[in-house]
Every structure is written in C-alpha cells, then in structure tokens.
Amino acid sequence: MMQTRFVATQVHGRYLVEPAVRPASAPLVVGFHGYGESAEQHLDALRQLPGSRDLTLVAVQSLHLFYTRNRDVVGSWMTRQGREHAIPDNVAYAARVVGAVREELGAGGPLVYLGFSQGTSMAYRAAALSGHAGRALIALGGDLPPELAADPSLRLPPVLVARGTRDEWFTQQKLDNDLTALAHRGVPARCLVFDGGHEWTPEFYTAAGAFLRELTGEA
C-alpha cells in the first residue's frame, strides 16, 4: 500500500531589494506577492507607495515556482498538499530574508510587512512568527491564515486590512471575520474598503501611505 513521506531539503529563495537613499534609518518594507505573480511584479507595486524613495523595498519571491503559458516564471506560496511543512519552511525563509537585508544594509529602521492576495497570509505569518517584530502590517486582498486566527496568543503589530468592493475572493465576510479575530486578540486594526476589485488602486496607496507615515514617521 502506498505511504506518503516527507523529507527536509535545502532550497534557495530569491528576493529583490531596492535600498532607500539612507537605508540604515529608512523603514524596511518586506512584501509578499500574490498567486501567479513574480517578485518583479510585486516590486513594481511597492514602488507606487507614497514616499517609496525613502523606503527600502524588498519583494520576496515564493519558493514554489512554475511557468505561465508565456514561459514567464511566477510563483505560489503553498498548496493544501504538505501545508503543515510548507508553513514553517516559509516562515524560516522570510526570517532569513529580513535578517540578510538588515545585515547587508545595516537596516535598523521600522520594519513593515505587506502582503497582496495569497501573499497576505505570508505577511501575517512573518509578522507573527519570524522573530522580527514589525512596526506595521498591510494586508491587501487576502485573509488572516486559519492557524493564526485560532491562536489565542497571537501577537501582531497594527494592521491595515484592505479590500475592493468588487473583490470576489477576499469577500466582505472574510474581512469582517479577520477584523473580529484581530479585535479579540487586542491587535489594533484599521479597515479600508475601496472602489475596485482584487487589485492595487490609488485609493489604497493613499491609505497605505498615511498608515505608514503615522506608524513610522518617515514614509
């Protein structure tokens, strides 16, 4: 009879860095892309944040890569198969990225996690479990992962949760559930519902910029 086994192995992750003019004191924004996206696409989105020249931007590429029909390389953070192993692997990966960027650039400024779509769950996990405490967390179009929502000891920085009115994946019900879970755990959370779909919009960027300025004082 077939039996399933898992074995640990070493893989190399890839991330893109765009340092601020003064990286030692600048806020460090670590972003996680959505399903079927690349680090390049995510970095382009991060560049639209207000005051991005004064931010050190990091776009983390997922470990699980695949080709599109056009032969572009994109990624996914995990699937339901082997999820219990993928979660700690990805958290450790995120922690190493933050540690490597801080060491390379001497980046001691406020740490901000940002996730879009599927990458939102990774932003939550990195903020809660990586050992690198964040000053803020921005969650766009994605939900709080269930294992964190069920954890009564959950500790997170202030969170901005955003969704578009026409977003069919991150529904209003999911948003309400996340806000309730965060409130029960004493996590300061701000909500933005903007006119749009599953996307980055000017209204979101304006709100994210204000959120960053308030919590870091430099964005």
Task: Please tell me the predicted confidence (pLDDT) of residue 219.
Answer: 47
Tens-digit pLDDT profile for residues 55-112: 999 999 999 998 999 999 999 999 888 899 999 999 999 999 999 999 999 999 999 9
pTM for the model stands at: 0.95
* Helix H or strand E segment including 125: helix 118-129
Residue-level pLDDT at 127? 98
Q: How far apart are CA 1 and CA 36, in angstroms?
A: 35
| Count, residues in the chain | 219
Q: What's the DSSP call for residue 134?
A: -
Which stretches of the chain drop beneath a pLDDT of 50? 219
How far are the Cα atoms of 35, 48, 115 from residue 41, in angstroms, in the given order?
11, 12, 13
The reported pLDDT for the residue numbered 215 is 85
Give Cα separations from 218 to 45, 76, 78 (angstroms). Answer: 19, 32, 34
CB 35 within 8 A of CB 115: no
Instruction: Classify 15-216 by CATH class.
Output: alpha beta
Say if strands 111-116 and 136-140 run parallel, antiparallel, or are unpaired.
Answer: parallel
Pull the structure tokens for residue 26: 């600048």
pLDDT value of position 205: 98
